[in-house]
Amino acid sequence: MSTFFIAGTDTGVGKTHATCALLHALRATGRSACGMKPVASGCTQTAEGLRNDDALALQAASSALMPYEWINPIALREPLSPHLAAAHDGVEIGLAPLHEAFLRLRDMHDAVLVEGVGGWLVPLSRGLLASDIARQWQLPVVLVVGMRLGCLNHALLSARAIATDGCRLVGWIGNLIDPDMAAVEENLTTLRRMLPAPCLGVLPHGAPPHEAASRLDLDAILE
Query: In angstroms, rounded to a whole number, what is the distance separating the alpha carbons of residues 128 and 133?
Result: 9
CATH topology of domain 2-215: Rossmann fold (3.40.50)
Tens place of pLDDT per residue across the chain (223 aa): 699 999 999 999 999 999 999 999 999 999 999 999 999 999 999 999 999 999 999 999 999 999 999 999 999 999 999 999 999 999 999 999 999 999 999 999 999 999 999 999 999 999 999 999 999 999 999 999 999 999 999 999 999 999 999 999 999 999 999 999 999 999 999 999 999 999 999 999 999 999 999 999 999 999 6
Write down the number of H helices and E strands in the chain: 9, 12
Of 48, 111, 36, 110, nearest in space to 74 by CA? 36
Query: In angstroms, rounded to a whole number, what is the distance separating the alpha carbons of residues 170 and 128?
Result: 23
What does the pLDDT read at residue 1? 67
Pairing relationship of beta strands 2-8 and 111-115 according to DSSP bridges: parallel
3-state secondary structure of 89: helix
Residue spans of the domains in the chain: they are 2-215
- The question of whether 15 is a catalytic residue gets the answer no
Q: Whole-model pTM above 0.85?
A: yes
Which of 37, 106, 109, 148 is the catalytic position?
37
> Under 8 Å CB-to-CB from 100, ≥6 apart: which residues?
none
